[in-house]
Amino acid sequence: MRIFKFGGASVQDAPGIQNVVKVLETVGHQNTLLVVSAMGKTTNAMEVVVKNYFEDKGKLQESFDTIYDYHYKIALELFETKQHPIFARLDELFEQVRGFLAWNKSPKYSFVYDQVVGYGELISTSIISAYLAKCGMTNSWLDVRDCIKTNDNYREGTVDWEHTQQCIAEKVDKNKLYVTQGFLGSDDNNFTTTLGREGSDYTAAIFAYCLNADSVTIWKDVPGVLNADPRYFENAELLNKISYREAIELAFYGASVIHPKTLQPLQRKEIPLHVKSFANPTAEGTVVMKGESISPKIPCFIVKKDLVLMKLSSLDFSFIVEENISEIFKLFSDNRMKVDLIQNSAISFSVCVDNKFNKLDDLLNTLKSKFKVSHYEDVSLYTIRHFNDQAINSLQNGKEVLVEQRTQQTVQLVVK
Query: Cβ closer to ligand ADP: 52 or 286?
Result: 286
38 touches, from ligand ADP, Mg ion, ligand ASP, none (C-beta below 5 to 8 Å by class): ligand ASP
Give the relative orientation of helices 42-55 and 119-134 as an angle to the nearest 10 degrees. Answer: 140
Residues that contact ligand ADP, how many (by CB under 6 A): 18
Which of these segments, 87-95, 198-206, 213-221, 249-257, binds ligand ASP (CB under 6 A)?
A: 198-206
Give yes or no for a contact between 200 and 37, defined as CB atoms under 8 angstroms apart.
yes
| Residue 276 engages ligand ADP in binding (rule: CB under 6 A) | no
Q: How far is the CB of 48 from ligand ASP (least distance, A)?
A: 13
List, in sequence order, the alpha helices (H) in 212-312. 244-253, 263-268
Bridge partners (DSSP) listed for residue 219 = 6, 276
Cα-Cα end-to-end distance for the chain = 47
Q: State which residue, 208 or 225, has the beta carbon closest to ligand ADP.
A: 225
Q: Which stretch binds ligand ASP (CB under 6 A): 35-43, 152-160, 276-284, 307-315?
A: 35-43
Query: What string marks each residue from 104 to 143 as x (binds ligand ASP by CB under 6 A) or -?
Result: ----------------x-----------------------
Per CB under 6 A, the segment of 192-200, 237-245, 264-272, 338-346 that binds ligand ASP is: 192-200
Got the DSSP string for 32-48? EEEEE--STTHHHHHHH
Nearest approach, Cβ of residue 67 and ligand ASP (Å): 13
Strand ranges of the sheet holding 32-36, from the earlier edge strand across to the other edge: 140-142, 178-181, 32-36, 2-6, 215-220, 273-277, 286-288, 241-242, 294-295
The answer to whether 199 contacts ligand ASP (rule: CB under 6 A) is yes
Q: Which residue, 114 or 121, is less far from ligand ADP as judged by CB?
A: 121
Dihedrals phi, psi of 79, to nearest 5 degrees: -105, -10
Considering only residues 38, 116, 122, 123, which one is a binding residue for ligand ASP as defined by CB under 6 A? 38
Which of these, 257, 214, 215, 213, lies nearest to 233 by C-alpha position? Answer: 257
Q: Tell me how far apart the alpha carbons of residues 114 and 157 are, in angstroms, rounded to a whole number.
A: 10
Question: How is the chain split among helix, strand and coil, in percent rounded to 5?
Answer: 40, 25, 35
Q: Which residue's CB is nearer to Mg ion, number 187 or number 198? A: 198
Instruction: Answer yes or no whether residue 150 interacts with ligand ASP by CB under 6 A.
Output: no
Q: How far is CA 286 from the centre of its chain?
A: 19
Name the residue nearer to ligand ASP (CB basis): 43 or 192.
Answer: 43
Residues from 14 through 43 that contact ligand ADP (CB under 6 A): 37
Residue 221, binding choice from Mg ion, ligand ASP, ligand ADP, none, Cβ under 5 to 8 Å by partner class: ligand ADP
CA 60: distance to chain centroid? 26
Q: Taking the complex as a whole, how short is the minimal distance between the CB of residue 222 and ligand ADP, in angstroms? A: 4
Distance between alpha carbon 59 and the CA centroid of its chain, in Å? 27
* DSSP letter for each residue of 352-381: EE--TTS-HHHHHHHHHTTEEEEEEEEEEE
Residues 315-354 that bind ligand ASP (CB under 6 A): none
Q: Is the peptide bond before 296 cis (omega within 30 degrees of 0)?
A: yes
231 among annotated binding-site residues: yes
Closest residue to ligand ADP in the complex (CB) = 7
For ligand ASP, which residue of 1, 4, 8, 239 counts as binding (CB under 6 A)? 8
Dmax (CA) for the chain in angstroms is: 74
Interacting positions 181-240 with ligand ADP (CB under 6 A): 198, 220-222, 225-226, 228-231
Chain residues that interact with ligand ASP, rule: CB under 6 A: 7-8, 37-38, 43, 120, 182-183, 197-200
Annotated binding site for ATP: 231
Q: By CB under 6 A, name the binding residues for ligand ADP.
A: 7-10, 37, 198, 220-222, 225-226, 228-231, 255-257
